[in-house]
Amino acid sequence: MNSVSTLERPASGNVAPGGGDDRPPSFWARLGGRAYDGRRFVLAARAVVLVGVFGALAGIGTSSDSSFESPDSESAQGFEILEAEFGSAGSFLSGSIVFEAEQGITDPTVQAAMTELFDEVELLDDATVTSPYTSIGEQQGLVAPDGTIAYATVSISDTADEIRAAEIGEEHLDAAE
């Protein structure tokens, strides 16, 4: 009895007289075979590429520059106008001083304490405060409808960086409490 089991039969109908598949090996099979045959060379090549990539990263550096400079653009002219007319309104660095008073923010003691804090922050060369007690603050809606919560915006000048902005916030955190 001469029978062939299904396990011995190839999936394709292309059976060579010797019982093998008559198709040539695929590109990936040939590549895998060459990589296996030259495995020491492949390992060394991978190490060289890895060292090259890390060397390039070390040369380039990992810090990124988020500065925005386009001196002759309309945007730059707009920022110059904002700086000239509104102080540091053209800066991308800003913060808020949020406060709450159960008796209302218009209570004389609350208003005096907060105005004193705003004036202290305003003394810094790098900061401009928009108080909720000013007409601009009222127009901007810096006071909650119930009158118990308000905030002031603090704009940081373009000459200060993120570190200086953080220092300004930390310096006045204790005073705010």
- pLDDT tens digit sequence for 67-94: 656 667 776 776 676 666 555 454 567 7
- 3-class DSSP state for residue 1? coil
Please tell me the distance from the alpha carbon of residue 84 to that of residue 123, in angstroms, as a whole number: 19
Q: Where are the domains of the chain?
A: 27-60, 86-176
Quick one: CA dihedral 157, 84, 143, 133, positive or negative? positive
Q: Greater confidence, 86 or 172?
A: 172
Higher-confidence position of 108 and 75? 108
Which overall architecture, per CATH, does domain 86-176 show? 2-Layer Sandwich (3.30)
Query: What is the rounded distance in angstroms from the CA atom of residue 150 to the CA atom of residue 162?
Result: 25
Name the pTM for this structure.
0.46
- Measured distance CA(146)–CA(103) in Å, rounded: 11
CA distances from 145 to 95, 101, 141, 148 (A): 21, 13, 9, 8
CA distance 33 to 29: 6
- pLDDT tens-digit map of 110-165: 889 888 888 888 877 777 888 888 888 888 888 888 888 888 888 777 666 777 77
Give pLDDT, residue 6.
47
